[in-house]
Amino acid sequence: MKTLAVFFSLAAAAMFAQQSRDYLSVDEADQIREAQEPNARLELYARFARARIDLVKSLLSHDKPGRSILIHNALEDYGRILDAVDNVVDDALMHKRDVAPGLNAVSNQEIAISGMLRKIQTSQPKDLDRYDFVLRDAISGTEDSIAMAREDFGDRALDLEQRQKEEKKEIQATKSDAQKAADGSQTVQDQPKAPTLYRPGEKKDDGTTGH
C-alpha cells in the first residue's frame, strides 16, 4: 500500500512539473515581450514552432536513452505555441488589426510541419508509445490551425464577438444566481428576535386571565 502511495506521489509531482514548465526559453520569451506588434509575434512563434519540430527530428535520428521525454516535451511545447498563435490572432481581430502577413508566415511553417509530423507517425519509432498522444495532438492541432488560417477574418471576428457576449451573459447569470442564493440563505429562524423585557418562561398577559 505504501508503494502505491509513493507511486501516485511521484506521478503527481511529474504532472505538476510538466504543467509548470515554461514552453518558451528565456530568450524566446524576451523576444515575444519585445515584439508588441501582432504580426511580429506571429512570425516569431512560427520560427519557434519549427525549431521544436526540428529538435524532434534531431532526437529521432539518434537512438539515445532518455530521448522519449525530450521528444514528448518538444511536442507538448509545440502544441502550446499553437495555442499562443490562436490567442494572438484572436486578440488582434478583436482590436481590428490586420494579421494576414504574420498568419501567412505561420501557415507556411505549419504546412511543412504537418508533413513532418505525419512522417514521424508513419515511421513508427520504437519508443512511439511514450509520446504517441502528444504527437497525435500536435498533428490535429496543426491541421486545425491551418484550416482556421483559411477562414474569413470577418467571420472569425464576428464569432469571437458573439462568444464574448455569451460568456458575459453566463458570468452575469452566475453572479445573479449566487446573489439570490445568498439573499435566500437567511431564513426567518436565522433572523434575530425582537428584544423583550420578559424573563425566561414568563408569558405575556393578554388580559384573558382571571384575577
Residue type, 172: Q
Please, what sign has the CA dihedral across residues 62, 67, 72, 74? negative
Name the percent of the chain lying above pLDDT 90. Answer: 55
What does the pLDDT read at residue 67? 96
Domain boundaries in the chain? 21-161
Q: Grid coordinates standing for 105? A: 508566415
pTM of the model: 0.68
**Half-sphere exposure of 49 toward its Cβ, with a 13 Å CA cutoff?**
30
| 39-48, 90-99, 173-182, 200-209: which is most confident | 39-48
- How sure is the predictor about 23, in pLDDT bands with cuts at 50, 70 and 90? very high
The contacts found for 36-41 with CB under 8 angstroms, 24 or more apart, are: 38/88, 38/89, 38/91, 38/92, 38/97, 38/99, 38/102, 39/98, 39/99, 39/101, 39/102, 40/102, 41/88, 41/102
CB atoms within 10 A of CB 206: 6
Residues 6+ apart with CB under 8 A from 156: 89, 90, 93, 148
Mean local confidence (pLDDT), 178-200: 60
Task: Give the residue among 39, 155, 157 at the shortest CA–CA distance from 95.
Answer: 157
| 49-53, 174-178, 187-191, 207-211: which is most confident | 49-53
Between CA 19 and CA 115 the distance in angstroms is: 28
What does the pLDDT read at residue 106? 95
Angle at 176 between CA 172 and CA 177, to 5 degrees: 120
Between CA 153 and CA 97 the distance in angstroms is: 10
3-class DSSP assignment, residue 163 = helix
What does the pLDDT read at residue 94? 87
